[in-house]
Chain A
Amino acid sequence: MAGWFNKLKNGLKKSSDKLTDSVTQVFTHKKLDDQTLDSLEEVLITADLGVSVASQIVDQLRDERFGKEISNDEILTFLAQKISEILDPVAHKLKIDTTKKPYVVLMVGVNGSGKTTTVAKMAKQWTDEGLKVSIAACDTFRAAAVEQLEVWGRRLDVPVFKKELGADAAGLAYESYDKARKNQDDVLLIDTAGRLQNNTDLMNELVKIVRVLRKHDADLPHACLLVLDATVGQNAHSQVETFSKMVDVTGLILTKLDGTAKGGVVVSLADKFKLPIHAIGVGESAEDLQPFTAKDFAKGLVLKNE
């Protein structure tokens, strides 16, 4: 565990440096006044927390400490704690029900959010845990998306079900379930093509995948995970909202947390949608998928690196 925390911390270092710097700049004077609170709100906004959550947190600080002396450390602890309180209820690992054979996980998201890489990472993680995993390469639209998964499949020794470019993704998902069931696989991971949430036609295609899967079993898919890119700004709200409406998203995975942008948007998403955050992506290799831990995440975001 220590290993991954360091990795996350290193990943978060740049952004928390920035945040800590800004907080320090804000607190050149010690009494908590309006100007200070305003600047503090801006600091949170810069971290993509969004205007409403940022002001909510700052209001709490105002209620408790306005006009009183306060130190930098106190302010950082306060921020970390408030952020952690928002995130804690949504930090759950995805539990695979091994009585379902296969447990079906549908991966959805906008283009370039990191679905295919995340599929590979999850396949690796579950294979390592001793589960029998297979993958359905239902991104039949993007050139070489199938090849990308096949390379991963070979590396991880996991079967990849596929069809030709342009084939019907729903049909492939349906057949893949049959195959996975016959093989008595524990998990079937379904990768889908990226689509923007405001593209009605493509969203309807996704709905079709779910509809067709449910011809096997009304409980399918057992999990539907929305993959979010951490660099995304407030549009993440629109993504979660629309995807949830169309295909009953059951959880989130946050990718690309090894860059300088992270955290903020998760806080406002957790506050608004209460969807569990199952894991975070912190790099490009198969082992760079980590559980999401509220406290560490909040700490990494606002506290100085020890």
Chain B
Amino acid sequence: MFNNLSDKLNNIFTALKKRGALKEEDVTAAMREIRIALLEADVALPVVKEFIDTVKEKAIGQEVVDSVTPAQMVVKIVHDQLVAILGAESSELNLKVTPPAVILMAGLQGSGKTTSSAKLAKFLKDKQKKKVMMASLDVYRPAAQEQLKILGASIDVETLSIVDGQKPLDITKRALKEAKLSGMDVLILDTAGRLHVDDALMDELIAVHKLSKPAETLLVADAMTGQDAVNVAKSFHERLTLTGTILTRVDGDARGGAALSMRQVTGCPIKFAGMGEKVDQFEIFHPDRIAGRILGMGDIVGLVEKAAEAADEKEAAKLQKKIQRGNFDLGDMESQLNQMLNMGGMGGIMKMMPGMGNMQEKLLGAGIDDKAIKRQIAIIRSMTPKERKFYKLLNASRKRRIAAGAGVPVQDINRLIKQYEGMHKMMKKMKKLGKKGMLRGGLEGLFS
């Protein structure tokens, strides 16, 4: 539904004959769509209203630049305002206190506190060379303390020993003492999940906060949270004075409107984003990326960065040379396919591309998914190096052998060869067009 925001706006604006400045009635019509879009992205209603008012004021009277459509212009104004509210740039942790700097993790049940604690510990240990200790104050959920201990062991971060029956406040005292004695830079306190309306548990959390005087008090919140995000963030902020938020499950397909709601009501920056189940899938939060997602416009920056990470630079340079010379072989295709998988597979790539959200369904319908990519890799790996270089060698008996080796029907081999030929042809075309031509044709061109 969301991917159509730009389309919807386009429809509104095609009614406009005259270009020039954006008029009030057009902007009002556009804002109706923006409002629905934001609500469907789970941005809380009061936040949506305030947002619309601000954007409307900014948009009315704006000159529409020649090369863009009025719809694009409005989307840009909306996008910029989203980024402005989310915080123009990412915000670092403030750990400049007498060590150990305490980080208190709080949030609802199941928001991802324990996993985030371990991820944060690993992040501080690896990227900032900090000596980190973790302690679980969760005496309610069965085996919660065990969970943190196991995670700690897996990332080689110390956890406070578990003493059965000890109360959260006593554990806090012991953790503070222990962290100080063993010369820790940072102490991460993982707390039990609690409802913001549960007074007894909130009082307990306040007591822990008072006792540990955290340098950072972070609310851990699920990117899938609905309208309630404002209530949750507000209550936690009022009681604890938060210093930031960790947004979890950003790797899901939720639009993440909760991020905007929470940012707006607490005024605290979102500092990190949880991007997966593994302890290293943790990133500094980039406001501009989530802004694009809330609007359903994709995350181009994220895509580019992921591509840079996935691609071994030397390999990429080598590949580019080959493409330029026009001798892209099946072995190169294999490394490209591998790269695609490293970038989070088809789903991951498509989601990040603006306007390509719909493509994913189409590709899946055509049987192009991660499994298909893996199968293609298997096929190429079943070929001899010579065959990979000179695909024309592939006669019927070779194809049968490869099919048996990869565990696929012979038709799949033919399909792969066809696809390779298509790619090969396209690369020749690209060579002719040069860089500029490729940009003009755009990604759609590559997939058609």
Contact = CB atoms under 8 A, between A and B. Distances in A.
A110 B224 contact: yes
Chain B: number of interface residues, binned into ranges: 35 or more
Contact of B110 (A48, A113, A147, A264): A113
Nearest to A204: B371
A196 B227 contact: no
Given A48-B228, A256-B110, A233 B257 contact: yes
Contacts of A35: none
Interface residues of A, number: 48
Given A113-B110, A233-B254, A144 B249 contact: no
Interface in A114-148: 114, 117, 141-145, 147-148
Contact of A200 (B39, B147, B195, B370): B370
Contacts of B254: 233-235, 238
Interface in B328-358: 345, 347, 351
20 contacts: A14-B197, A45-B39, A48-B226, A48-B227, A110-B224, A112-B249, A142-B147, A145-B143, A197-B252, A231-B108, A231-B222, A231-B226, A233-B42, A233-B224, A233-B227, A235-B42, A238-B253, A258-B195, A260-B195, A260-B197
Given A112-B111, A143-B154, A259-B108, A231 B225 contact: yes
A144 B224 contact: no
B42 A234 contact: yes
Contact of A45 (B108, B227, B255): B227
A152 interface: yes
A265 interface: yes
B94 to A, nearest CB: 28
Contacts of A50: 40
Interface string A244-266: 00000000000010111100110
A31 to B, nearest CB: 24
A198 interface: yes
B36 interface: yes
A224 B395 CA distance: 48
Interface of B: 36, 39-42, 44-45, 108-112, 140-144, 146-147, 149-151, 154, 195-197, 222, 224-229, 231-232, 249, 251-255, 257-258, 277, 345, 347, 351, 369-371
Contacts of A42: 45
A186 to B, nearest CB: 24
A51 B40 contact: yes
Interface in A165-209: 165, 196-201, 204
B110 A114 contact: yes
Q: Which one of B36, B144, B252, B371 has the highest number of Cβ atoms from chain A below 10 Å of its Cβ?
A: B252
Given A144-B144, A233-B227, A233-B254, 7 more contacts: A14-B197, A112-B109, A117-B141, A148-B141, A260-B196, A260-B232, A284-B109
Contact of B227 (A149, A150, A165, A264): A264
Contacts of A147: 142-143, 146-147
B185 to A, nearest CB: 24
A144 B227 CA distance: 31
Contacts of B109: 112, 114, 256, 284
